């Protein structure tokens, strides 16, 4: 079951919900203040091991928070 990330516009609480694909577009409410939350775009990271035993990132490069398409928090429009 996929995990979806949400951000509450009322209290800036960031939370996750595990939902089926059929529930993906249903409204989600903040566990703190019960305001309708905004679904965030999530990123992921994947790593590969080299023959020498080291690892390197093969996916998930870009911003570190996954909340916006910005490449740094200085240009992100969501409060950290």
pLDDT in tens, 34-74: 999 999 987 776 667 777 766 555 555 444 455 555 555 65
d(CA 49, CA 4): 28
Using pLDDT thresholds of 50, 70 and 90, give the confidence band for residue 79.
very low
Q: Is the pTM of this model over 0.85?
A: no
Whether 77 maps to a domain, the answer reads no
Kindly list the distances between the CA atom of residue 34 and the CA atoms of 44, 51, 58, in Å, as whole numbers in the listed order: 27, 50, 38
15 beta partners: 6
Domain span including residue 18: 3-66
**Mean local confidence (pLDDT), 9-35:** 95
For residues 46 and 9, which has the higher predicted lDDT (pLDDT)? 9
Whether 16 maps to a domain, the answer reads yes
The total domain count for the chain is 1
Using pLDDT thresholds of 50, 70 and 90, give the confidence band for residue 33.
very high
Strands 38-39, 3-7: parallel, antiparallel or unpaired by DSSP? antiparallel
């Amino acid at each position: 079951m996929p995990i979806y990330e949400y951000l509450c516009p009322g209290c800036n609480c960031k939370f996750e919900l595990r939902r089926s694909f059929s529930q993906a577009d249903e409204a989600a409410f903040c566990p703190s203040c019960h305001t309708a939350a905004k679904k965030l775009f999530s990123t992921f990271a994947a790593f590969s091991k080299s023959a020498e035993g080291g690892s390197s990132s093969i996916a998930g490069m870009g911003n570190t928070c996954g909340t916006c398409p910005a490449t740094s928090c200085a240009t992100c429009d969501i409060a950290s």
